[in-house]
């Protein structure tokens, strides 16, 4: 545990001082600011069945695909390329501690990015909101959407760490992460759109669809519905991805 805390502190300090982190933060905030602005613009033109905050969270996959690979691509790939990973593996710290420290540092960075996004709805509500009207920054929707992003981020960040373990190239690690996240998100969206209830021959998909419906999970969290199935899915997926990452790193010693 002592080695893990030391490694985590080192990874957090490295992330704080890294230009890649600040560039990723700038890209994330610019992207989310633009998405929220156009969501507000669309809602101001005509009545919509959702609030600007809900519309913004519906596009969570854009920063997921564009920014998250930039956060995780260098975690192991850069250290393998520079040769520092071999030296790190000779320390008393276990491989699992190294993998978990890098994962947790990346996940906390991702969480900070999304917490910083909450400034946008707050500013909009302060400037344009009226007393008693919380449609511009509904606390329940913000909290539920943020919980979904952080819980699903456990699996998403773990996939990025795993992809970074498989190559020496940071660019290739980012591409692999992008493909994995795109496939995972696309499968979740497809499961939401399939008419499973009306097609009897698709009945066998009913149970997998209940677990993989990514956008349905977001809607449930934003609506205040807490289901254990998404939590089990994302936590077990995280554990599997990190376990494979440990095996990948140990196989390269």
Read off the pLDDT of each residue in 23-40 and give the average, rounded to a whole number.
91
Q: 96-100, 148-152, 205-209: lowest mean pLDDT where?
A: 205-209
Instruction: Report whether 20 contacts 74 (CB < 8 A).
Output: yes
Q: What local confidence, expressed as pLDDT, does residue 78 receive?
A: 83
* Choice between 157 and 90, residue whose per-residue pLDDT is larger: 157
**Percent composition of the chain: helix, strand, coil (DSSP 3-state, to 5):** 80, 0, 20
pLDDT for 4: 83
What average pLDDT does the structure give for the chain?
A: 83
Q: What is the pLDDT of residue 206?
A: 58
Average pLDDT over residues 101-120: 94
Q: Which of 168, 126, 141, 158 is nearest to 53 (CA)?
A: 141
Mean pLDDT of 229-244: 91
Q: How many other CB atoms are found less than 10 A from the CB of residue 237?
A: 17
pLDDT-derived band at 149 (thresholds 50, 70, 90) equals: very high
The residue ranking higher by pLDDT, 150 or 134, is 150
Give residue 150's pLDDT: 93
What's the pLDDT score for residue 156? 95
What are 61's two structure tokens? 């996959």
Kindly state the percentage of the chain with pLDDT values over 90. Answer: 36
The residue-averaged pLDDT of 222-242 equals 86
Question: Which pLDDT value is given to residue 79?
Answer: 83
């Amino acid at each position: 545990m002592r080695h893990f805390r030391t490694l985590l502190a080192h990874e957090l300090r490295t992330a704080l001082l890294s230009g890649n982190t600040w560039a990723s933060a700038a890209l994330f905030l610019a992207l989310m600011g633009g998405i929220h602005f156009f969501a507000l613009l669309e809602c101001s033109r005509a009545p919509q069945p959702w609030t600007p905050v809900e519309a913004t969270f519906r596009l969570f996959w854009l920063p997921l695909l564009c920014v998250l690979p930039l956060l995780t691509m260098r975690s192991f790939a850069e250290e393998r390329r520079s040769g520092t990973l071999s030296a790190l593996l000779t320390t008393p710290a276990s491989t699992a501690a190294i993998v978990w420290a890098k994962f947790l540092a990346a996940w906390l960075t991702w969480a900070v990015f999304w917490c910083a996004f909450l400034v946008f709805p707050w500013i909009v509500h302060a400037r344009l909101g009226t007393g008693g009207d919380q449609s511009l920054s509904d606390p329940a929707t913000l909290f539920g959407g943020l919980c979904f992003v952080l819980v699903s981020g456990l699996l998403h960040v773990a996939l990025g760490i795993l992809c970074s373990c498989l190559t020496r190239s940071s660019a290739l690690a980012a591409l692999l992460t992008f493909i994995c996240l795109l496939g995972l998100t696309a499968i979740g969206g497809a499961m939401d759109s399939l008419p499973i209830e009306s097609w009897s021959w698709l009945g066998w998909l009913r149970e997998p669809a209940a677990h993989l419906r990514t956008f349905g999970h977001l809607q449930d969290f934003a609506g205040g519905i807490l289901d254990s199935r998404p939590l089990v899915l994302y936590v077990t997926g995280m554990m599997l991805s990190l376990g494979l990452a440990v095996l990948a790193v140990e196989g390269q010693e």
